[in-house]
Amino acid sequence: MSFHLQHPLNPEAAPEWLRAVTRTLPADPNRVNPVLNRRSPQGSKVRPAAVLVLFGGSADSDPLAVGGLPADADVLLTQRASTMRQHSGQVAFPGGAADPEDDGPVDTALREAVEETGLVRSGVQPLATLPEIFIPPSGFDVTPVLAYWHDPSPVGVVDAAEAERVVRVPLRDLIDPDNRFQVRHRAGYQGPAFEVDGMLVWGFTAGVLAGLLAVSGWEIEWDHHDVRDLDVTLTRVATGVENDGMIEFGQHRPSREMGER
**Confidence at residue 207, expressed as pLDDT on a 0 to 100 scale:** 98
- What CATH number is associated with residue 26? 3.90.79.10
Domain presence at residue 222: no
**Confidence at residue 127, expressed as pLDDT on a 0 to 100 scale:** 98
Could you list the residue range(s) of the whole structural domain that residue 167 is in?
11-174
CA contacts within 13 A on the Cβ side of 133: 24
* Sequential DSSP letters for 175-207: S-GGGEEEEE-TTS-EEEEEEETTEEE-HHHHH
Give the tens place of pLDDT for each residue, 18-57: 999 999 999 999 999 999 999 998 888 899 999 999 999 9
What domain count does the chain have? 1
Domain presence at residue 107: yes
Give the tens place of pLDDT for each residue, 207-218: 999 999 999 999
CB 56 within 8 A of CB 212: no
- What is the band of 255 on the pLDDT scale with cuts at 50, 70, 90? very low
Domain presence at residue 65: yes
User: How far is 158 from 155, CA to CA, in rounded Å?
Assistant: 9
**Confidence at residue 87, expressed as pLDDT on a 0 to 100 scale:** 53
